[in-house]
Amino acid sequence: MTTTPPPPQAFQKAQPGEVDGGSAPGLTKPKERKLSRAEKRAIAVKGKISSPWASGIALLIAVLWTVPTFGLLVTSFRPAPDIRRTGWWTAFGNPDFTLENYSEVLFGGASFANYVVNTIVITIPAVLIPISLALLAAYAFAWIDFRGRDVLFVAVFALQIVPIQITLIPLLSQYVQWGLAGSYWVVWLSHTIFALPLAVFLLHNFMKDIPPSLVEAARVDGAGHVKIFFQVLLPLLVPAIAAFAIFQFLWVWNDLLVALVFSGGTADVAPLTVRLGELAGQRGETWHLLSSGAFVTIIVPLIVFLALQRYFVRGLLAGSVKG
C-alpha cells in the first residue's frame, strides 16, 4: 500500500444530487416524472458504451492486469531447471509442478520462514499502537474543548505531507544514540510515528460524525471522558477502525524503506520485503526462489485484502458514503 486514502471531504461533491459539472452543452433538464422499471432498464442498457469493442478493451485490460502475477505464480510451482529452460506459458503443455521451490525458499538458505516471523512481529504492534494512540487523539480533537484545538489539529493534518525520507537520518542517529538501532523497538516506534497524522485525521472525521447528543447524554449521566470514549464512541467506531487497520496493515507489511533503514537488515529483525529485495539484487538466475519468495511475501496481504475488501473500499471512500 503506497497510496494513502484521500481526505474524505474531497468526495463530497460526488454525492447524489450535488453534481454541478453535468451541464453539457445543449442539455435541458427533463420534467420530473417517475419512470417505470422497464423504462429505466432500457435507458440503462442504451446509454452504456456497450459494444464488442468496449467488452474487448475491458477484457484486454483485465488480462493485462492479471497475467504478470499469474505468470509468476505458475513459475513458482515449476521445477528450477524448467524455469531456466522455457517460458511459464509452456508449462500447460506438459505440466510438471512441484512445491520444491517453496520448501527451499522457506527453510533453505534463503530462510524466508525466519523473515515471516519478523514481519509478523513487526506488523502487529505497528498496527495496534498507532490506532490506539490516534483514537485517543482523535477523541480529544473531536470532543474535548481546549484552547488551541483547531490550530493543533491543522498542524497534525499538515504533517501528513512530510515525506518520511526527510526524517530518516536524524531519527536513525537518535536511535543509534539510544543503542536501539536495529531492534524491533525502533521499527515499531517509527511505523507508529509515520502512521499517526493520517490516522488521527481519518478517525477524527469518523468521530465527528457521531451524533453529539449521544456524547451529551453520557456527559449528563456523569460519565468522564475516558468512560465516554470506551463505552459510547468505541463501539460505534468499529468499522472505521477496521478500515484504517487494513490500511496500516498493508502499509507496514509491504513497507521496504522504514525496514531497510531501521531494522539493520539482519535476519533477526528485517522483514520479508527486505529479504526479497536482497534476493532480487543478487546476480544470477534464481527465479525459482524469487518467484516462490515473492508469493510468500504477497500471500498474507492478498488474503486479508480479499477477505476484507469491503472494509478497505469503505475506508477508501470514507466520506463519500456519509453525509
Residues 30-49 that bind another protein (CB under 8 A): 30, 32, 35, 40, 43-44, 46-49
266-285 residues near another protein, rule: CB under 8 A: 268, 273, 276-277, 280-281
Cα 46 to chain centroid, rounded: 37
Taking CB under 8 A as the criterion, the residue among 141, 201, 206, 244 binding another protein is 141
Tell me the window of 97-105, 207-215, 225-233, 234-242 that interacts with another protein (CB under 8 A).
225-233
The type of residue at 5 is P
129 contacts another protein (rule: CB under 8 A): yes
For residues 154, 160, 166, 170, the Cα torsion angle rounded to the nearest 10 degrees is: 70
Select from 99-107, 185-193, 208-216, 234-242 the region that touches another protein (CB under 8 A): 185-193
User: Does 110 interact with another protein (rule: CB under 8 A)?
Assistant: no
Does residue 286 interact with another protein by CB under 8 A?
no
Q: Is 304 in the site for another protein (CB under 8 A)?
A: yes
**Is 137 among the residues that bind another protein (CB under 8 A)?**
yes
Distance (Å, whole) CA 22 – CA 25: 9
Residue with C-alpha cell 487494513? 246
By CB under 8 A, is residue 150 in contact with another protein?
no
Number of residues that bind another protein (CB under 8 A): 147
What is the spatial distance between Cα 33 and Cα 264, in angstroms, rounded to a whole number? 67
Phi, psi values for residue 177, rounded to 5°: -60, -40
User: Which residue in this structure is represented by grid cell 435507458?
Assistant: 43
In whole angstroms, give the CA distance from residue 240 to residue 138.
12
Tell me which of 128, 210, 236, 242 binds another protein, using CB under 8 A: 128
92 binds another protein (CB under 8 A): no
Q: Which amino acid is at 83?
A: I
Answer for which of 152, 210, 236, 242 binds another protein (CB under 8 A) is 152
CA distance 62 to 146: 52
